[in-house]
Amino acid sequence: MQKVILASASKAREKLFSALNIPFEIFPAEIEEKAIRDADLKVRAAKIARAKAESVLAKHPGIIIAADSFVVCQGKALEKPLDLKEAFEMLKLEQGQDVLFYTALCYIDREKDIDFSEVSITKFRIRQLEDYEIQAYVKNNPVTTWAGGFSTLYGYGTNLVEHIDGSLTGLLGLPMEILIPLLKRSGLKPGA
Protein backbone atom coordinates (compact mmCIF):
# COMPACT_ATOMS: atom_id res chain seq x y z
CA MET A 1 0.00 0.00 0.00
CA GLN A 2 1.18 3.52 -0.81
CA LYS A 3 2.18 5.92 1.92
CA VAL A 4 -0.29 8.71 2.55
CA ILE A 5 1.54 11.99 2.98
CA LEU A 6 0.15 15.22 4.36
CA ALA A 7 2.27 18.00 2.89
CA SER A 8 1.61 20.40 5.73
CA ALA A 9 3.01 21.54 9.06
CA SER A 10 -0.47 22.68 10.14
CA LYS A 11 -1.54 21.19 13.46
CA ALA A 12 -5.18 21.83 12.49
CA ARG A 13 -4.81 19.79 9.28
CA GLU A 14 -2.98 17.04 11.17
CA LYS A 15 -5.77 16.88 13.75
CA LEU A 16 -8.49 16.76 11.07
CA PHE A 17 -6.72 14.07 9.07
CA SER A 18 -6.02 11.98 12.19
CA ALA A 19 -9.77 11.64 12.73
CA LEU A 20 -10.01 9.61 9.49
CA ASN A 21 -8.13 6.64 11.01
CA ILE A 22 -5.83 6.37 7.99
CA PRO A 23 -2.11 6.00 8.72
CA PHE A 24 -0.17 8.95 7.31
CA GLU A 25 3.12 10.75 7.47
CA ILE A 26 3.80 14.47 7.54
CA PHE A 27 6.32 16.08 5.23
CA PRO A 28 5.81 19.86 5.11
CA ALA A 29 6.46 21.42 1.73
CA GLU A 30 9.47 23.66 1.46
CA ILE A 31 8.38 26.33 -0.98
CA GLU A 32 8.37 30.11 -0.98
CA GLU A 33 4.61 30.75 -0.84
CA LYS A 34 4.90 34.52 -1.13
CA ALA A 35 6.63 34.12 -4.50
CA ILE A 36 3.46 32.59 -5.95
CA ARG A 37 1.15 35.40 -7.02
CA ASP A 38 -2.09 35.74 -8.94
CA ALA A 39 -4.67 38.53 -9.06
CA ASP A 40 -7.41 35.90 -8.68
CA LEU A 41 -7.15 34.78 -5.05
CA LYS A 42 -8.86 31.46 -5.76
CA VAL A 43 -6.27 30.69 -8.45
CA ARG A 44 -3.45 31.79 -6.17
CA ALA A 45 -4.54 29.40 -3.40
CA ALA A 46 -4.76 26.56 -5.93
CA LYS A 47 -1.28 27.35 -7.30
CA ILE A 48 0.25 27.31 -3.81
CA ALA A 49 -1.42 24.00 -2.89
CA ARG A 50 -0.22 22.48 -6.20
CA ALA A 51 3.35 23.74 -5.62
CA LYS A 52 3.33 22.20 -2.12
CA ALA A 53 2.09 18.84 -3.43
CA GLU A 54 4.60 18.67 -6.27
CA SER A 55 7.48 19.73 -4.00
CA VAL A 56 6.75 16.89 -1.55
CA LEU A 57 6.01 14.35 -4.29
CA ALA A 58 9.47 14.98 -5.79
CA LYS A 59 11.06 13.73 -2.55
CA HIS A 60 8.47 11.35 -1.10
CA PRO A 61 6.44 9.07 -3.40
CA GLY A 62 2.93 8.21 -2.29
CA ILE A 63 -0.50 9.77 -2.07
CA ILE A 64 0.12 13.46 -1.54
CA ILE A 65 -2.38 15.78 0.14
CA ALA A 66 -1.55 19.48 0.19
CA ALA A 67 -3.61 22.51 1.05
CA ASP A 68 -3.32 26.26 1.35
CA SER A 69 -5.64 28.69 3.06
CA PHE A 70 -6.09 32.40 3.37
CA VAL A 71 -8.73 34.86 4.40
CA VAL A 72 -10.28 37.75 2.48
CA CYS A 73 -11.88 40.54 4.47
CA GLN A 74 -13.00 43.87 3.06
CA GLY A 75 -11.12 43.08 -0.16
CA LYS A 76 -7.83 42.38 1.64
CA ALA A 77 -6.09 39.02 1.55
CA LEU A 78 -5.03 38.09 5.08
CA GLU A 79 -2.38 35.43 5.36
CA LYS A 80 -0.62 34.27 8.54
CA PRO A 81 0.10 37.27 10.78
CA LEU A 82 3.75 38.03 11.36
CA ASP A 83 3.28 38.66 15.08
CA LEU A 84 0.66 39.00 17.83
CA LYS A 85 0.11 42.69 17.09
CA GLU A 86 -0.76 41.93 13.47
CA ALA A 87 -3.04 39.07 14.60
CA PHE A 88 -4.86 41.49 16.90
CA GLU A 89 -5.31 43.96 14.02
CA MET A 90 -6.61 41.22 11.73
CA LEU A 91 -9.25 40.14 14.25
CA LYS A 92 -10.27 43.78 14.77
CA LEU A 93 -10.75 44.05 11.00
CA GLU A 94 -12.64 40.74 10.71
CA GLN A 95 -15.10 41.24 13.56
CA GLY A 96 -18.63 42.01 12.43
CA GLN A 97 -17.67 41.47 8.79
CA ASP A 98 -18.47 38.84 6.20
CA VAL A 99 -15.16 37.06 5.71
CA LEU A 100 -14.22 34.58 2.98
CA PHE A 101 -11.96 31.66 3.82
CA TYR A 102 -10.28 30.06 0.79
CA THR A 103 -8.88 26.55 1.18
CA ALA A 104 -7.26 24.98 -1.87
CA LEU A 105 -6.77 21.21 -1.85
CA CYS A 106 -4.38 19.36 -4.15
CA TYR A 107 -4.48 15.56 -4.17
CA ILE A 108 -2.05 13.43 -6.18
CA ASP A 109 -2.13 9.63 -6.42
CA ARG A 110 0.01 8.57 -9.41
CA GLU A 111 -0.82 4.85 -9.01
CA LYS A 112 -4.57 5.48 -9.41
CA ASP A 113 -4.03 8.28 -11.95
CA ILE A 114 -5.64 10.91 -9.70
CA ASP A 115 -4.41 14.48 -9.97
CA PHE A 116 -7.05 16.76 -8.49
CA SER A 117 -7.30 20.36 -7.30
CA GLU A 118 -10.25 22.30 -5.96
CA VAL A 119 -10.83 25.39 -3.86
CA SER A 120 -13.39 25.47 -1.06
CA ILE A 121 -14.77 28.90 -0.16
CA THR A 122 -16.49 29.36 3.18
CA LYS A 123 -18.15 32.62 4.18
CA PHE A 124 -18.31 33.34 7.89
CA ARG A 125 -18.84 36.22 10.26
CA ILE A 126 -16.96 36.85 13.48
CA ARG A 127 -19.22 38.50 16.04
CA GLN A 128 -18.46 41.93 17.51
CA LEU A 129 -15.71 41.44 20.06
CA GLU A 130 -14.45 43.34 23.07
CA ASP A 131 -10.75 44.24 22.92
CA TYR A 132 -10.08 42.04 25.97
CA GLU A 133 -11.51 39.03 24.07
CA ILE A 134 -9.21 39.66 21.13
CA GLN A 135 -6.21 40.19 23.41
CA ALA A 136 -6.90 36.96 25.30
CA TYR A 137 -7.46 35.01 22.08
CA VAL A 138 -4.23 36.30 20.55
CA LYS A 139 -2.26 35.65 23.75
CA ASN A 140 -3.57 32.12 24.36
CA ASN A 141 -3.59 30.62 20.85
CA PRO A 142 -0.99 30.00 18.10
CA VAL A 143 -2.54 32.77 15.97
CA THR A 144 0.58 33.33 13.84
CA THR A 145 0.13 29.85 12.36
CA TRP A 146 -3.35 30.58 10.94
CA ALA A 147 -4.46 32.58 7.93
CA GLY A 148 -6.29 35.63 9.25
CA GLY A 149 -5.03 34.87 12.77
CA PHE A 150 -8.08 32.74 13.49
CA SER A 151 -9.18 29.10 13.78
CA THR A 152 -12.31 27.45 15.12
CA LEU A 153 -10.43 24.25 15.94
CA TYR A 154 -8.79 25.44 19.14
CA GLY A 155 -9.95 26.97 22.37
CA TYR A 156 -12.16 29.99 22.21
CA GLY A 157 -12.22 30.22 18.40
CA THR A 158 -15.59 28.52 17.98
CA ASN A 159 -17.13 31.10 20.31
CA LEU A 160 -16.06 33.93 18.02
CA VAL A 161 -18.15 32.78 15.05
CA GLU A 162 -21.60 34.29 14.60
CA HIS A 163 -22.50 32.62 11.30
CA ILE A 164 -20.97 30.20 8.79
CA ASP A 165 -22.01 29.44 5.22
CA GLY A 166 -20.04 26.68 3.51
CA SER A 167 -17.56 24.01 4.51
CA LEU A 168 -16.83 23.75 8.24
CA THR A 169 -13.75 21.60 7.61
CA GLY A 170 -12.72 23.94 4.79
CA LEU A 171 -12.74 26.70 7.41
CA LEU A 172 -10.42 24.48 9.44
CA GLY A 173 -8.00 24.14 6.52
CA LEU A 174 -8.86 20.74 5.02
CA PRO A 175 -12.24 20.37 3.24
CA MET A 176 -13.21 16.79 4.08
CA GLU A 177 -16.22 16.77 1.75
CA ILE A 178 -13.70 17.02 -1.11
CA LEU A 179 -10.94 14.88 0.40
CA ILE A 180 -12.89 11.80 1.55
CA PRO A 181 -14.19 10.80 -1.93
CA LEU A 182 -10.62 11.10 -3.26
CA LEU A 183 -9.27 8.84 -0.53
CA LYS A 184 -11.96 6.29 -1.40
CA ARG A 185 -10.96 6.45 -5.09
CA SER A 186 -7.44 5.56 -3.93
CA GLY A 187 -8.83 2.45 -2.24
CA LEU A 188 -8.61 3.81 1.33
CA LYS A 189 -11.37 3.54 3.93
CA PRO A 190 -11.75 6.77 5.89
CA GLY A 191 -13.29 6.26 9.31
CA ALA A 192 -12.84 2.46 9.30
Q: Distance between the two ends of the chain, CA-based, in angstroms?
A: 16
Amino acid residing at 117: S
Contact 109, 130 (CB under 8 A): no
Secondary structure letter of residue 99 according to DSSP: E
Catalytic (active site) residue 68? yes
Residues 66 and 77: their CA atoms lie apart, in Å, by 20
The single residue of 38, 40, 68, 83 carrying the catalytic annotation is: 68
Contact 67, 103 (CB under 8 A): yes
Do you know the residue count of the chain?
192
User: Which of 153, 128, 129 is closest to 143 using CA atoms?
Assistant: 153
Active site residues: 68
